[in-house]
Amino acid sequence: MDGSAPHVGAGTGIGPLSGLRVLDMSRVLAGPWCTQCLADLGAEVLKIEAPGEGDETRTWGPPSMGGVSAYFACANRAKQSLIVDLKSEAGRDMIRGLAAKADILVENFKGGTMERMGLSYDELTKINPRLIYCAISGYGRTGPNSERAGYDFVIQAETGLMSVTGFPDGAPTKVGVAVSDLFSGLYASQAILAAVVGRARTGRGTFIDVALFDCQLAALANVAANVLATGGRPKRYGNAHPNVVPYELFDAADGPIALAIGNDRQFRTLCNRVLDLPELVTDPDFSTNALRVVNRVRLRPLLADRILSAPRSHWLARLKAESLPGGELFSVDEALQSPQAVERGLVKCFDSENGADAGRIKVVRYPVNFGDGLPDPTPPPALGEGGEELANRWMKND
């Protein structure tokens, strides 16, 4: 991957990252999400966990599956677990030895923690100049908040995400998934892969500073761009879109449908061939998307009354016939069991044989398909499972 020979015997030999070794010193979600992406792509991931309960998310339940909390299972498949006491000098020495053999180290301690343990990038790069060191934190390594702990809920509040989520007459609302953590994990994995490519050219590793605050601000995308363009404070639109109309949920006779009309041609087709409302096409207030945004308060009830007159199946069939974007509102369980999810094989099942906790562990697999295939993932490890064997192999360079 980086121009050097892969580690002999590393991984399964399947996947674009086969041969790369990842020392995972992260926990909870952002860091583990990043390293799980690398594991899914074929890298060997050695997850370091504290004695006792290990990663906090092992206890974040119910629910659990096969003796593993569902939360832990969602972010830790395809890894091996090694128990290391970082409070002891012996434990810190073990990390130094593993870092000397690793390609990538990922950690998400508060700023200054790794420095106090003598495990900073500056220290470890003396041992392994090729090490790619990714530090994920709430606020990064600079700025007035650099030593604060980062929590997704607080980041959603402080970046303005909550202020634009929810209905206009309701309270600011968090997103139902920890998106700040997930965005940060994905940005981190992208940056790591860029560093691997860069290392092939320079022969050197690098330090990567990933902050949840930064990543969530970047992921505000068009909302942030709107503010930068106007200087104004954005509103909450509920299920509607600030820049595109109509783009929201509408109630049909037997339940809601999602309608996403992205351009003027689609709007004309919607009115003429789906809703039988040709008068809206010739109405000067609705002739362009910009005008529909300005006049959304007048347009919405006209569309809503017509859609309410027939069931979802009627409108969805018409939308499909005209290749217009629309869909049924599913619950998460319905989406996971949908024909599309089943056909794509998105749910991966593992058998667990942990004594009284025997059972099935189910996860949503890595959502990208590779023509050359990816390794078949292993289930999330029990605390300490598989790590000692993998660590010994690293140290022996097998």
Q: Which residues are catalytic?
A: 181
What percent of the chain is helix, strand and coil (3-state, nearest 5)? 40, 15, 45
Q: Is 188 left (phi over 0), alpha (psi -120 to 50) or beta?
A: alpha
CA distance readout (Å), 322 to 269, 283, 289: 7, 22, 19
Q: Is 96 exposed, middle or buried (0-12, 13-18, 19+ CB in 10 A)?
A: middle
| Segments in the chain forming alpha helices (H) | 30-40, 70-73, 89-101, 113-116, 121-127, 152-158, 179-202, 212-218, 221-230, 264-269, 278-282, 289-294, 296-307, 312-321, 332-336, 339-344, 387-396
Distance CA 300, CA 305 (A): 9
Burial of 388 (0-12, 13-18, 19+ CB in 10 A): middle
Dist. CA 1–CA 193, nearest whole Å: 10
Strand partners, 105: 23, 133
Q: Which residues of 245-282 are buried (b: 16+ CB within 10 A; e: fewer)?
A: bbbbebebeeeebbbebeebebbbbbbeebbeeeebee
Q: Is 356 exposed, middle or buried (0-12, 13-18, 19+ CB in 10 A)?
A: exposed
